[in-house]
Amino acid sequence: MEFDSDVSSVVQAAVSLVNATTPGEHGGRPVEAPTGPALTAAVATAVAPASRPSDGPMTDAVAGELAGWAARLRAVVEPVDAGDLDTACARLNEVLRDAAAVPTLTRHDGEGWHLHFHRPDADLATGWAAGMATGLAIVLGGPAVERLGLCRAPRCDRAYLDTSRNGTRRFCSTACQNRVKAAAFRARRDAAPAR
């Protein structure tokens, strides 16, 4: 299946934001949630591919709010990964309500009419939260839910969205995929009888 490119980019941004702002493990190393200027920089980088020039530069306040939304989105991805779609959908419905996600046709900055997922008067963080929650809702409500999960590599819990054509990716990164492949190779080699 193919993702609509707008949905794909906003869900990718959500996954990047969750990974950039929530503690856990990445590639075998513990990850602490960034704070202060590091948090602002991490949030700006995570949402950059799906942001618009009119959004302006990322501020500490907006980054802090987005980190709060990201924690709630991670709490959606975790039950998806565990196969508990009931919990994931109930939690995501709460985020959609709290972010006032309202599909709204809009026209600005010289663009044609296009669909926003947030209220016209939403502030930047809430607008982003509404957009990311709606993108995730489209994923959770369809076959693409199989493509959302947490990295299968040992000592890594980062989220991923598999946008590959064949949909067989199970790792947050090629680094984790290679780590697991190398471990499997070593295990096979060590298990082979000596000649």
Site for Zn ion, rule CB under 5 A: 151, 153, 156, 158, 172, 176
Cβ nearer to Zn ion, comparing 125 with 153: 153
Cβ nearer to Zn ion, comparing 116 with 179: 179
Cβ nearer to Zn ion, comparing 101 with 176: 176
Q: Which long-range contacts (CB under 8 A, 24 or more apart) does 116-125 make?
A: 117/10, 123/62, 124/55, 124/56, 124/62, 125/61, 125/62, 125/65, 125/66, 125/69
Concatenated DSSP letters of 155-176: T---EEE--SSS----SSSHHH
Q: Smallest distance from the beta carbon of 31 to Zn ion, in angstroms?
A: 10
Cβ nearer to Zn ion, comparing 80 with 176: 176
Cβ nearer to Zn ion, comparing 119 with 155: 155
Q: Smallest distance from the beta carbon of 190 to Zn ion, in angstroms?
A: 23
The label of the residue with tokens 């994931």 reads 88
Q: Smallest distance from the beta carbon of 183 to Zn ion, in angstroms?
A: 13
Concatenated DSSP letters of 58-101: --HHHHHHHHHHHHHHHHHHHHHHTT-HHHHHHHHHHHHHHTTE
Q: Smallest distance from the beta carbon of 64 to Zn ion, in angstroms?
A: 26
Q: Smallest distance from the beta carbon of 155 to Zn ion, in angstroms?
A: 9
Q: Which residues of 106-129 are buried (b: 16+ CB within 10 A; e: fewer)?
A: eeeeeeeeeebbbbeebebbbbbb
